[in-house]
Amino acid sequence: MAGERVPRVVAVELQSPEDLFRLASLLPAPFVNYSAEDGVIFLPLGGLGRAGTVYFARVGSELRSRFAHVNRLKGTVSFGDEASLEPNVVNVEVLRVKSHNVPIPRSK
């Protein structure tokens, strides 16, 4: 429609992938999206009004594990192909993305 504003997306780069996994562990259904082609993991979250926020982090090497295990007491992140049953551990599923159009800035 004429005069309708296009939704705005704010991209926020976190310091490390571990920070993104810790953020995702706070979700009711914890997950991150992984784009091997771009070498990034990202998590889109809603915002106020029509604005959205995409949190992302660059990964140094290919993520091969299916889960990131976030220990909320220790603040540590480990990886595995099976969900952990350890107490205080939140399993964050890594979803592999074939393609996306998320506006993630190129690495500097």
DSSP the chain: -TTPPPPEEEEEE-S-HHHHHHHHTTSSS-EEEEETTTTEEEEEEE-STTEEEEEEEE-SS----SEEEEETTTTEEEEESS----TTEEEEEEEEPS-----PPPP-
Per-residue model confidence as pLDDT tens for the chain (108 residues): 455 565 688 889 999 999 999 999 999 999 999 999 999 999 998 766 677 889 999 998 899 999 999 999 998 999 999 999 999 999 999 999 998 888 888 776
Q: Residue 64 corresponds to which amino acid?
A: R
In the structure encoding, which two tokens stand for residue 49, read together?
């009004």
Distance CA 87, CA 43 (A): 25
Distance CA 90, CA 32 (A): 13
The confidence score (pLDDT) of residue 7 equals: 60
Please tell me whether the overall predicted TM-score, pTM, comes out greater than 0.75 for this model: yes
The confidence score (pLDDT) of residue 39 equals: 92
The confidence score (pLDDT) of residue 50 equals: 72
